[in-house]
Chains A and B, each alone.
Chain A
Amino acid sequence: MTTESPARQDREVQRLERVTVRFAGDSGDGMQLTGTQFTKTTAIFGNDLATLPDFPAEIRAPTGSLPGVSGFQISFSSSDIRTPGDQPDALVAMNPAALKTNIGDLRPGGLVIVDEEEFSRSNLKKAGYEQSPLEDGTLSAFQVVPINITRQNELALEEVDLPSKQKFQSRNFYALGLVLWLYGRSIEPTVKWAEARFGRNPAVLDANLRALKAGYNFGDTTELFQVRYEVPPATVEPGLYRHISGNEATALGFLAASIKADLPLFYASYPITPASDVLHELSRHRNFGVKTFQAEDEIAAMGAAIGAAYGGSLALTGTSGPGLALKSEALNLAIMTELPLVVIDVQRAGPSTGMPTKTEQSDLLQAMFGRNGDSAIAIVAPATPADCFHMAIEAYRIALKYMVPVIYLSDGYLGNGSEPWKIPDMGDIPEIASHFADPSTTDFQPYKRDPETLARPWAIPGTPGLEHRIGGLEKSSETGDISYEPENHHKMTLYRNNRVANIQHDIPPLEVQGPESGDLLVLGWGGTYGAIVSAAENARAQGKSVASAQVRYLNPFPANLGEVLSRYDKVLIPELNMGQLSMLVRAKYLVDAVPFNKIAGQPFKIAEIEAKIDEVLGLRGPYELDFGPTSNLGGA
């Protein structure tokens, strides 16, 4: 069977700069796998890309129902891109519910591939369709290609000895094969992957490969597609690349920090969406001396991390928003006892349980202030999935040098999103120094600070001569004995605060992309980086004086932030929250920053920020977010 036959001569090949495809189906249809395989193939092909998985909260919502729809979006390009795309150009919908929940996002004129077989009366009813959208003209704005995927898949697998239910599960590979053909990608990486994955189960391997090839060949032979698309490889910096998700990069970054600090990593966590992947990943690496502890609750995970930090390990705990709320009391103990540790918060939509599988940036103020007393903490926030690796190392560099807990604010979009990553050379990453107490000290004083960093010495149990007592009660400066002295408490509070403020001199200055000064600075933090940079670039391409900058150090802020803000007439701060960075920036720098807030569980689209830029520049009237007629209902 030929699998790589060239496109038929009579087929038009249309060259595109950038394409965004969304795969959508029932959560049992394997759409995440389909999307991931397409992504890997595209990465190896050499396109730049960004992805956005979007899955329901329910593990198995009723088959065919709207809440059961799972989606995976990938945007790929022959030039540098930073977001998974505003509007898909193509939608693969495996059933009516997938069509209904996703069609609203598709660009007008976009391509819709549906599994026609699944548009039965009962499935239409489950999706809330009175009549088939394939027949009633409601899809007239799109190019609809109905294919009997289920039936075609069945025919391709006729000779395979598997129950029909299992054969049905191969239809995502049929769809994958078809889309790989459509965009001129090879099936070879998926064949290799399937051979490794299903090698021990020949029937399943056979079924998947047959489905994949049948889908690919169907595209090649059918007359249904008038055009085949080509997105040439992007020109990127030379080097060795891989594809990586934010949560993977987070886990690898903390492991790298453990190697660079020469301290064993201890990760205590309670399972919580969307942070559990970090626990899964780190729990595989016992051979690196990584000890993972699945605690009885969030508080215990925080407490165990404190115990590990006290014992001289690289202590880490991870959670999402509600878990951070539970950890806050114990986190304050880490602040009071001045022990180095890192808390990962992969933020999700709140408040309370909120929308666990949806992204948001609404824990910044919780991270900053969500504890009793004046309790300053260091906060860092990666800007892209790959940046998670670097900021993890930064988190420990700060924690160990200043003897301070650090909150690492990722989010669901960063954690589950992915991008190609130029693999760093470990030799280029500096070692991380620790601030251990000198075991030869006589008359050891546990709170005697380093005059420069204000860090107290890290004196760990097992060291003879350094026996001492710490705790949550206020300590006397230097001796660490309990103290209720008024002046001492004033002084110690200032020490704890200044120790964090001091970090400002030890972090890189804020980098601006675009003009050094001008009409507008778009300031962001965390995962909004891609959309903000792209929007600002587009604005500049239209001759507008717009710069952008992404704050990766939230506490303390980079030393030059105030000065950067002062160089622009206006400052716009887009955030996936009610304006938390805006509040901090306005309070600290007395700048009349304009907040732009989206609280939808979805990342910003570039066009949304572009529209807001125009509004702030006075080039259009007030801009309101438009959520469209049928925005995604997944995870309702």
Chain B
Amino acid sequence: MTAPATNGKTGDGEELPVLTKKDFTSDQEVRWCPGCGDYAILAQMQKMLPDLKIPRENIAFISGIGCSSRFPYYVETYGFHSIHGRAPTIATGLKLTRPELTVFVVTGDGDGLSIGGNHLLHAMRRNLDITIILFNNRIYGLTKGQFSPTSELGKVTKSSPYGTTEMPLNPTRIAIAAGATFVARAVDRDTKHLEQVLYEAAQHKGTSFVEVYQNCNIFNDGAFAAFTDKDVRDDRMLYLEDGQPLRFGKERQHGIKLNGFLPEVEWDAPEDAELLVHDAATPHTNLANILAHMDYPDFPVPVGIFRRVEAPRYEEMLEEQVQDARERAAPEFEPLLHGSETWRVND
């Protein structure tokens, strides 16, 4: 008996019933704390999934451990709530053996960057065609409020009553360094932008990494409020648009220019010509790194697509090796079983 094959319909939409958000909503009761940023991410994902025009059965969500990792229970697709930090490894095994599936990894700042840091790096460098969504709330929520690898220096938590004495990681910089071919950042509260980023990430062929600034209203409330609140957002965040100069402000009146190797804010910049122009497809990572370094309060915080480049994909190359090998040598087991030398013993 062979494993039942998938129906192979992955995008043209023909013969497919039109799916809606409701089709991607499972019968499970959502158990995040009321007010958690995770709700917004779930809702945008469920809204976005029908746009991919992929049958539900060809989608799998793989998560690790943490609040974010409950995500797969709530999406009506195949789902695997695995163990702490290891979701990328399971996604890798699944994607390598079933390249036709659309695979999402849902992780958090603790799951993905602390216990599972190694796996996250290697998944990204291999450029498997998977989409990794990292919910960054800069705190450990499920274990009730210890600092995380993205918590700011000096953060006072239950496990750091005197304040932390370690520097935080910047997830976007890690993704760029590891070679993810699609790197983006979004904010839970800006739902429309978030949905668009999730869509672009899912469409990208290769490893997509999306950092979502997500508010934990219980243990780290307002972690991003200083720049994501509606009334300050325009002046303190920068929405990246490919091919456009880097501008921000209510009237898009301010801009970012380069001074030597360093970015600099140009307040009330009248001319586009002086400003840095965003190019997500540039092969070099310099620009993406400059953007990833920009942080509040010195700079507006960039969100959107930092990097989007094409590169050979692991599962595709592996599949090619299998096909090439088959063309070169038929899979005959007997010669292999016999090895290089045999001898016959007669009666």
Contacts and interface: CB of A to CB of B under 8 A. Distances in A.
B331 A287 contact: yes
Given A241-B342, A311-B93, A481-B28, A288 B333 contact: yes
B332 to A, nearest CB: 9
12 contacts: A237-B345, A242-B342, A266-B93, A288-B333, A300-B122, A303-B93, A303-B119, A307-B62, A308-B96, A310-B80, A464-B56, A469-B73
A244 B337 CA distance: 10
Nearest to A283: B321
A315 B88 CA distance: 17
Contact of B5 (A295, A300, A462): A462
Contact of B56 (A304, A311, A426, A467): A467
Nearest to B324: A286
Nearest to B102: A461
Chain A interface mostly helix, strand, loop or mixed? mixed
Interface string A44-56: 1010000000000
Nearest to B77: A467
A285 interface: yes
Given A436-B4, A463-B4, 11 more contacts: A262-B2, A268-B93, A287-B331, A300-B119, A304-B96, A307-B91, A329-B83, A436-B1, A461-B101, A467-B56, A482-B73
Chain B interface extent, by class? 35 or more
B81 A285 contact: no
Interface residues of A, number: 77
A304 B334 contact: no
Interface string B328-347: 11110110111101111111
Contacts of A473: 81
A426 B62 contact: no
Interface of A: 40, 43-44, 46, 189, 236-244, 248, 252, 255-256, 259, 262-264, 266, 268, 285-289, 291, 293, 295-297, 299-313, 315, 329-330, 333, 337, 423-424, 426, 433-434, 436, 439, 460-473, 481-482
Contacts of A310: 80, 90, 93-94
A238 B331 CA distance: 28
Nearest to A421: B339
A266 B97 contact: yes
Interface string B237-263: 000000000000000000000000000
A57 to B, nearest CB: 26
A426 B6 contact: no
Contacts of B344: 238-241
B326 interface: yes
A462 B322 contact: no
A242 B94 contact: no
Contact of B122 (A40, A263, A296): A296
A291 B77 contact: no
A256 B334 CA distance: 10
Interface in B70-96: 72-73, 76-83, 86, 88-96
A255 B333 contact: yes
Contact of A426 (B59, B88, B118, B334): B334
Contacts of B274: none
Given A40-B341, A238-B346, A308-B96, A289 B322 contact: yes
A582 B318 CA distance: 46
A286 to B, nearest CB: 4
Max count, chain B CB within 10 A of own CB: residue among A46, A259, A291, A310: A310
Interface string B1-40: 1111111000000000000000000101000000000000
Contacts of A262: 1-2
B58 interface: yes
> 4 closest Cβ contacts across the A-B interface?
A307-B93, A303-B89, A471-B81, A462-B6
Nearest to B84: A329
A308 B86 contact: no
A289 B119 CA distance: 25
B100 interface: yes
A299 B321 CA distance: 25
Contacts of A470: 79-81
B192 interface: no
B303 interface: no
Nearest to A426: B333
Nearest to A41: B341
A273 to B, nearest CB: 22
A469 B343 contact: no
Contact of A306 (B6, B56, B93): B93
Nearest to B28: A481
A466 B97 contact: no
B51 interface: no
Given A40-B341, A252-B336, A287 B89 contact: no
